[in-house]
Amino acid sequence: MARSKEEARARRRETPDSLAIFGGAPLFPEPLHIGRPNVGDREALVAHLDDILESRWLTNAGPKVREFERQFADWSGVEHCVATCNATVALEIAIRALGMEGEVIVPSATFVATAHALQWQQIRPVFCDIDPATQNIDPSAAQRLISPHTTGIIGVHLWGRACDVEALEALASENDLKLMFDAAHAVGCTYRGKRIGGFGDAEVVSFHATKVMNTFEGGAILTNNGELAEKVRLMRNFGFAGMDNVIHVGTNGKMSEMSAAMGLVSLDCFDDFVAANRNNYENYERRLRNLPGIKLLRYDETEENNYQYVVLDYTQGEGGISRDQLIDILWKENVRARRYFYPGAHRMEPYRTLYPEAGRNLPETERLLDRVICLPTGTAVDSADVDAICDVIECTINHSNEIARRLRAS
């Protein structure tokens, strides 16, 4: 019989028998995903849609895109914002515009798009280990990977927590390397009190549907370098400098008017999205702080954070429930917990085949990616959802011996 979400959540998970993996009814009647989009003011969005349809100007750097670029640049404290169809194409364009070639140093603990944006244009991603304290690229490990073929470094502000920008800027300038940041997770976050967007030669953000603010699909290149901004603008639009006048190789990386409209609405609602994320994060923290084997990734409260990822660092305890078994238990409850970014870009194709030895230099990366669990958050998740999810985790940890035995037996 179909049950409402409230009914399903209300039943406490206190004993193994109540868990769906052992035949109990799932916690949520429908899958509760990570990455349910944050949707802002619908009326405002519909009004934008009316404007767009009325004007019959749908794409090609129309008024909504220009307005979004202006607002997002001001909000980020950066001179130039070039909006794109997604962050992957933005990375590809920025990498090319900066003249990166040969080898570029990049973490493997990232979404595979960071590496693909290089490999796609025959540039070798040289995978660098992370600093376990920050979970971001380790500048001293990056230094050891510099070779005569290295032309750049791409740091990733993983989970929105800034890289060691200062050390990477010093390393890049001492070695005459280009420096970019994949800031896909870091919209609205700060480094030493300054909004992310203006560091290195350029930064790239993502406005994918699953991100803290979305434009359906979308991304942007942010930079304080006017010449670079001009170049990426050309490259985003096939290299056209005016009608019939192509002056550069280019691609189609344009953002549509409807996406820009969603961006304008999302920007207006950004504080509400972050408040919902923060509330969920604090509820998870309160519920999970004393559970053995579970460490919730903390954000630096002296900075601005968007709290869009709730990340657990899970250590298998004596009870013997593995990370993947805990995820399986959650999935059976319809909680779609994820193992971002397992198994690491270096263990995905084509990198696994091209660079089979890469893992030798990545012990911290592999250790982290074998332990991570990301939990649902965002405006589609409320505090009762968080409580119910934490009940399952608590029940699993508290009864881990019995659960592990029953799982082995089955």
Task: Give residues in contact with ligand T4K (CB under 6 A).
Answer: 33-37, 86-88, 110-111, 113-114, 156, 182, 184-185, 206, 208-210, 219, 340
To 10 degrees, the CA torsion angle through 321, 324, 325, 327? Answer: 120
CA angle (309, 11, 402) in 5-degree steps: 80
Spatial distance between the Cα atoms of 340 and 343, rounded to a whole number of angstroms = 8
Nearest approach, Cβ of 381 to ligand T4K (angstroms)?
Answer: 11
Backbone φ/ψ region at 192: left (φ over 0), alpha (ψ -120 to 50), beta: left
Spatial distance between the Cα atoms of 223 and 203, rounded to a whole number of angstroms = 7
The residue written with tokens 């206190």 in the block is: 14
Amino acid identity, position 31: P
Nearest approach, Cβ of 216 to ligand T4K (angstroms)?
Answer: 8
In the complex with ligand T4K, which residue's Cβ is closer, 62 or 219? 219
Spatial distance between the Cα atoms of 197 and 246, rounded to a whole number of angstroms = 29
Residue-wise DSSP of 137-201: B-HHHHHHH--TTEEEEEEE-GGGPPP-HHHHHHHHHHTT-EEEEE-TT-TT-EETTEETTSSSS
Nearest approach, Cβ of 387 to ligand T4K (angstroms)?
Answer: 21
In the complex with ligand T4K, which residue's Cβ is closer, 35 or 125? 35
In the complex with ligand T4K, which residue's Cβ is closer, 262 or 288? 262
Nearest approach, Cβ of 160 to ligand T4K (angstroms)?
Answer: 10
Nearest approach, Cβ of 18 to ligand T4K (angstroms)?
Answer: 26
Query: Among candidates 368, 356, 310, 406, which has minimal Cα distance to 22?
Result: 406
Taking the CA atoms of 352, 208, 204 and 65 in sequence, report the sign of the dihedral they define. Answer: positive
For ligand T4K, the nearest residue by Cβ is 35
Q: What order do you get walking across the sheet with 310-314 strand by strand?
A: 294-296, 310-314, 372-375
In the complex with ligand T4K, which residue's Cβ is closer, 62 or 155? 155
The residue written with tokens 């990375």 in the block is: 91
Nearest approach, Cβ of 65 to ligand T4K (angstroms)?
Answer: 16
In Å, how far from its chain's centre is CA 258? 23
Nearest approach, Cβ of 246 to ligand T4K (angstroms)?
Answer: 25
- For residue 374, list its beta bridge partners: 311, 338
In the complex with ligand T4K, which residue's Cβ is closer, 88 or 283? 88
Nearest approach, Cβ of 36 to ligand T4K (angstroms)?
Answer: 4
Nearest approach, Cβ of 148 to ligand T4K (angstroms)?
Answer: 28
Give CA separation, 399 vs 334, 375, 406, in Å: 20, 21, 11
333: tokens are 């409850």
Q: How many CA atoms lie within 13 A of 85 on its CB side?
A: 12
In the complex with ligand T4K, which residue's Cβ is closer, 309 or 314? 309
In the complex with ligand T4K, which residue's Cβ is closer, 291 or 312? 312
Spatial distance between the Cα atoms of 298 and 379, rounded to a whole number of angstroms = 20
Cis preceding-peptide flag for 148 (omega within 30 of 0): no
In the complex with ligand T4K, which residue's Cβ is closer, 110 or 151? 110
In the complex with ligand T4K, which residue's Cβ is closer, 185 or 287? 185
Nearest approach, Cβ of 16 to ligand T4K (angstroms)?
Answer: 27
In the complex with ligand T4K, which residue's Cβ is closer, 16 or 40? 40
Nearest approach, Cβ of 105 to ligand T4K (angstroms)?
Answer: 16
In the complex with ligand T4K, which residue's Cβ is closer, 33 or 295? 33
